[in-house]
Amino acid sequence: MKTLIQLSILTTTLLFIACKQKSNSATTAMKTVDVITWQKAQTYYIQHMDKAINYLDSLKQASVNGTKSKYYFAKAREAFKIAEPFASYLNPEVGHRTNGPALPVYKEDTGKILYPIGLQKIEESVYEQDITDKDFNQEIKITQGLMLVLKGDMTKRQLTPQRFFRATHQQLFRLISLAISGFDTPVSHLGIKETATSLNSLYKVYEFTLQPSIIKKDALLDQQFKNNIKNAIQYVENNTNFDTFDRFTFTRDYLNPITTQWVNIRKTADIWEPTTTDPFNFDAPTFFENNSFNLNHFTAVNNRNPSKAQIDLGKKLFYDPNLSANHNMACVTCHSPNKGYADGLTTSLDNNGKPLDRNTPTLINSAFQRSFFWDGRSETMIEQIASVFLNEKEFNTNVHQFSEDILKDSSYIKAFKAAYGKIPKKNTEVIKALSSYISTLNSFNSRFDQNIRGEINDFTDQERLGYNLFMGKALCATCHFMPLTNGTVPPFFSETEKEVIGVPKTAANKENDDDLGFYFKYKENLHKGMFKTPTLRNVSLTAPYMHNGVYDSLEQVMDFYNRGGGGGLGFDLPHQTLPFDELNLTTEEQQAIIAYLKTLTSVPEDGY
């Protein structure tokens, strides 16, 4: 009996200890979460927005041509860059206007043109000094107004784990795509120095928030992350010259380790699980992986997550000329895998073999854009394909009436049933299947990607120079944003830029082309000769170049840009978005850029 009682007491004691340990463990876990407070970080962001506003006051007092105008401008930008992650995450449109290109913007909802405002416009005024103090003060007042709107959002809406991780990811992406390319600061080139500012801000906010928890869970990860940020900051501070900054080394050896560890920190913190609607794959260790971007974000809502059967059907349809009314044109007619999914012609041919007006762009990575056709008239790939069906010079068929001639191939019956459970009555499912297949024609596994990821190390000195010129002096990456190299604007990827660059009618460069491009939509002079910025990936396979196929070689293209585009050639282009000035690239530098562009070749095997 005594033994039983002792056993009972022992069992009870063990259970009590176990429960207490479990309770203590839960309490510890709770404390780990509790130490991650966000108020201090939110206050830090808000305080620096205040500083940016106050520095603009000092800039106003200094006047546009004052001895300290550049100093106060730089301090205002520095403070804004610290506040930018949270501010621009909460209000992307106002954030972009505050720190976006100094170009007029056409507002589709109002039909009005908004003239340039924000920090980049102030930068032009400070460095070029071609403005009165009255107009300069007005620029500052408007920019401060934008910042006050951002501050209001930052005050009203709480910083949360979701907002913090998304905002930080976006800011890290800004570094590789906007800051070091000169997009943020095209005149002053302060973007290199500001890269160190952004990294230092991340370090501080990390200390305010996640660090105590990460130290407890993985002290080595914490130390490595902090060390890598310090090393990256030191590298930038020792190499601030815009023209000579080695962007290749910085990205591969300094920034990529930080983004890789940031993914691990998010997972270790275990306080936010990413969704599938963001543009980024938050689990990708760098921004140069084959899966760094979330395809669903770029895909029409009614065609996301296609099944393998739907993709397979789309591939079969892609090669079928029976989709066209006269049975002599298929998608592959203009988009051949052997030619980088373009056709190698100056301009496409219609269904009777006669030239159309524009050159055929590649389909590879075409899913990662927000407008289709050279003039951007379609907003989704589904709209673009539907336009091909309706165009009397192309497929010349009806979207709302199924192209039954394809059923001459009886295997389609099984394929449609597997994909959609039935034989459709309209071509809408045909178009969706084609879009699903074309959206798989993606590849980010070129020699460049493998080198920048550090998987191989065979970049030549010429190719490395070419990349650094592309990202810097040559200004290529201020329109062809890395790493997509197209005009889809980071880090929100909600629009694809169109540009007026003054493409000539012939390679003689004597006369501006008369194709008005995007002008068709609103009849605004601002849009005359405006065309979508295409991807440069696989560009070595897709000659000839430009919307009219005017240039046969990359050498001709480089010469055009080096001379300042159409404006540099002497064409009357008051709304050219490309700088008119010559780039002053040497022949060797132009060849280096071409050598780099050739490393972007990566055609997906068998479609997907």
Tell me, yes or no, if the pTM score tops 0.75.
yes
Residue tagged 């780039």 (tokens): 583
pLDDT tens digit sequence for 364-415 = 999 999 999 999 999 999 999 999 999 999 999 988 889 889 999 999 999 9
Q: What is the pLDDT of residue 93?
A: 94
Please confirm whether the linkage preceding 279 is cis (ω < 30° from 0): no
For 245, left (φ over 0), alpha (ψ -120 to 50), or beta?
Answer: beta
- What gap in Å lies between CA 268 and CA 266, rounded to an integer? 5
In 561-596, which positions are buried (b, 16+ CB within 10 angstroms) versus exposed (e)? bbbbbbbbbebebebbbbeeeebebeeebbbbbbbb
Using an 8 Å Cβ cutoff, are 559 and 551 in contact?
no
Q: What is the pLDDT of residue 606?
A: 60
- What gap in Å lies between CA 433 and CA 64, rounded to an integer? 57
pLDDT of residue 248 exceeding 60: yes
**CA angle, corner 428, sides to 422 and 432, nearest 5?**
90
- What gap in Å lies between CA 497 and CA 520, rounded to an integer? 16
Burial class (CB in 10 A: 0-12, 13-18, 19+), 203: middle
The first and second tokens of residue 119, run together, are 């920090």
**Mean pLDDT, residues 537-563:** 97
**Mean pLDDT, residues 167-183:** 97
Q: What is the DSSP letter of 553?
A: S
Q: What is the pLDDT of residue 101?
A: 92
pLDDT band, residue 580 (cuts 50/70/90) = confident
pLDDT of residue 7 exceeding 80: no
Among residues 368, 361, 367, the alpha carbon closest in space to that of 347 is found at: 361
Provide the 3-class DSSP secondary structure of residue 264: helix
Three-state SS annotation for 376-415:
CCECCHHHHHHHHHHCCCCCCCCCCCCCHHHHHCCHHHHH
Using an 8 Å Cβ cutoff, are 309 and 418 in contact?
yes
The first and second tokens of residue 570, run together, are 């002497």
Q: What is the DSSP letter of 481?
A: B
pLDDT tens digit sequence for 292-309 = 999 999 999 999 999 999
Please confirm whether the linkage preceding 491 is cis (ω < 30° from 0): yes
pLDDT band, residue 17 (cuts 50/70/90) = very low
pLDDT of residue 341 exceeding 60: yes
- What gap in Å lies between CA 549 and CA 601, rounded to an integer? 20
- The strand pair at 105-107 and 112-114 is best described as antiparallel
Residue 504 main-chain phi, psi, to 5 deg: -80, 165
The first and second tokens of residue 357, run together, are 């007006």
pLDDT tens digit sequence for 78-101 = 999 999 999 999 999 999 999 999
- What gap in Å lies between CA 400 and CA 72, rounded to an integer? 61
pLDDT tens digit sequence for 470-495 = 999 999 999 999 999 999 999 999 99
